[in-house]
Amino acid sequence: MKKIRVLVAKPGLDGHDRGALVIAQALRDHGMEVIYTGLRQSPAQIAQAAVQEDVDVIGLSSLSGAHRTLFPKVLQELDDRNASDIPVIGGGVIPSEDIPYLLDKGIKKIFTSGSSTELLATYIMEMIDPKTSSKKPPKQISHIGIAVENIDAALSFYTDSLGLELEAVEKIESEGVKVAFIKIGESRLELLEPLNEKSAIRKFLDKKGEGIHHIALEVGDIRTRLQQLKQQGIPLINEEAKTGARNSQIAFIHPKTANGVLYELCQHEGSDD
Ligand code: CO
């Protein structure tokens, strides 16, 4: 297979390029050909180099805070050379509030300080060869799990006061819980009542009282996704999917990776990608 060619560039006046050099080396380690422009390149020089080197993707790094003007200028310079088909991604020090602006201008993706070179390399490979991609984002919030002492006592607020529809009540003996699904649009509220003392919901109620327990994200291929998360070093509570309510396949991600929020991945029948 032809090697992916990446131009790593630093527009503007940044004083050092350690981060860019680390990224360039990491991408080489993933089998890519990396051309690095060096410090203090103008958007025109970057676009020119990208065209001359016939690269597949441009990675811009900015630390100086000038990304809001410089990144869109690179896109403009590419457009001027009929090269707007070369995707441009960015990273460095980019405040999250600037990300929607840059995406809106046409930058394909911004990598923040929390992401890894591993994720960056995977993203580039999947962008260039979409056949390798199996990482579609979760489709929607499947449900929000709420721990309650007693479903019957809790229901009236949802069905009478809010007027929502109770869709199903089910006991999941293996988990020691009774669940009630309340439909809200395409999502659900899932009331969870403990059936015995060993239930995780019992322990949650004793520790924290009633309240939000987890957020469930609907995914396509839960098995593949669990493998991918594992490869990324995301701590999982369940490394294999198990059967949950309404015949779904579910697995939990450890809350320490997600700001204290317990996330469930779930895949319902007929929701294969
Ligand atoms: Co759930």
Which domain CATH number covers 78? 3.40.50.280
273 located within any domain: no
The answer on 162 and 216 residing in a single domain is yes
Which of 131, 156, 175 is the last residue in one of the domains?
131
Report if pTM > 0.75.
no
Rounded mean pLDDT of the chain? 92
134 C-alpha to center of ligand 1: Å? 24
Cα of 214 from ligand 1 centre, angstroms:
7
C-alpha 254 – ligand 1 centre gap (Å) = 14
How does DSSP assign 182-248, residue by residue? EEETTEEEEEEEESSTT-HHHHHHHHH-SEEEEEEEE-S-HHHHHHHHHHTT--BS-SS-EE-GGG-
CA of 117 to the centre of ligand 1 (A): 32
Q: Are residues 50 and 78 in the same domain?
A: yes
State how far the Cα of 75 lies from the Cα of 11, in Å rounded to an integer.
Answer: 12
- Are 146 and 109 in the same domain? no
pLDDT 10s digits, 221-261: 898 899 889 988 899 999 999 988 888 999 999 999 999 99
Tell me what pLDDT residue 29 has. 92
The last residue of one of the domains, among 92, 110, 131, is: 131
How many Å lie between the centroid of ligand 1 and the Cα of residue 132? 30
Cα 180 to Cα 30: distance, rounded to the nearest angstrom: 47
What values do phi and psi take at 39, rounded to 5? Answer: -75, 160
Give me the domain span that covers residue 19: 5-131
Same domain, 248 and 221: yes
Q: Decide if 9 is inside a domain.
A: yes
d(CA 56, CA 96): 26
Distance, CA 252 to ligand 1 centroid (Å)?
Answer: 9
Pick out the chain residues at pLDDT < 70: 1, 131-135, 270-273
Please give the distance, rounded to the nearest whole angstrom, from the Cα atom of residue 264 to the centre of ligand 1. Answer: 6
Measure 190 CA to ligand 1 centroid, in angstroms.
6
Same domain, 115 and 150: no
- Cα(143) to ligand 1 centroid in Å equals 6
Instruction: Give me the number of domains the chain comprises.
Output: 2
Q: What CATH code is carried by the domain that includes residue 176?
A: 3.10.180.10
For residues 119 and 157, state if they share a domain. Answer: no
